[in-house]
Structure 1
Amino acid sequence: MTQGPETPDPNQQPEGSAPPPPPYEQPAQPTPPPYGQPQGGYAPPAGGFAAPNPAAPYGVHPVTGVPYSDKTKLVAGLLQILIPLGIGRFYIGDTKTGVWQLVVTILTCGIGALWPFIDGIMILATDSKDAQGRPLRTS
């Protein structure tokens, strides 16, 4: 019996030739983190919020960086308007002005109550400060 033409073995390389290059492999892709996990090098603080600053428990003014007062602008203004005896000034710690408003209102038989009334509107309309010079909170 005669043999027919042989087919070359693909695993066998001819003599004198270079080996074929290895097949192209894609680099392994990192698996994405599970949903809700941070990507990259950023990791938020525990709880999702920054740690509170003990020197500014109510936050800081965004422009000046001065910590907010523990008193609110709305309460101080309404106390001045509704009870025009300087009560709003006592509330924010400005006792000197509060005493003057009280004395003027009593000595003028109530006509001097116009001063605390207008002062209450000014507290609500402007960036007022407490006795320590910290800006009043808006809410």
Structure 2
Amino acid sequence: MEILDNNGNPIPQQESKRILAGIMGILFGYFAIHKFILGYTKEGIIQIVANICTCGLATIIPFIEGIIYLSKSDQEFIATYQNNHKGWF
């Protein structure tokens, strides 16, 4: 199955980071490792600051993101998070 970008152009095949990012989001969400794996440096720093400011309550966000990542197919994950760079949820 060919993956298309927002303009309908074919996107070269790439390896999905879905499982790695999902597990890291669930297990190590406090450190925002899943954001850095996907190349979202700004969002990763925001997540770390939010976790520090809320004494860890903001770790629910990466936990939910990890579940969302794992519930998507590889093609859907690549199109949404690796190609279109959707930073949150």
Superposition TM-score tier, normalisation by shorter sequence: 0.5 to 0.7
User: Gapped runs of 5+ residues in structure 2?
Assistant: 5-9
1:66 maps to what in 2? 11
Aligned-partner residue type, residue 105 of structure 1? N
Going by fraction, where is helix more abundant, 1 or 2?
2
CA contact (8 A) 1:67 1:134 kept: no
TM-score (norm 1): 0.46
Distance (whole Å) between structure 2 residues aligned to residue 90 and residue 63 of structure 1:
23
Q: Does 1:81 find its partner at 2:81?
A: no
Q: Which has the higher contact order (CA 8 A, sep 6+)?
A: 2
User: Gapped runs of 5+ residues in structure 1?
Assistant: 1-60
Count of matched residue positions in the alignment of Structure 1 and Structure 2: 73
2:68 maps to what in 1? 122
| Matched ranges for 1:1-139 at <5 A | 62-64=2-4, 65-70=10-15, 72-85=17-30, 86-126=32-72, 127-128=76-77, 129-130=81-82, 133=83
CA contact (8 A) 1:79 1:88 kept: yes
Task: Work out which of the two has the higher radius of gyration on C-alpha atoms and give 1 or 2.
Answer: 1
Distance (whole Å) between structure 2 residues aligned to residue 69 and residue 105 of structure 1:
31
Distance (whole Å) between structure 2 residues aligned to residue 93 and residue 69 of structure 1:
14
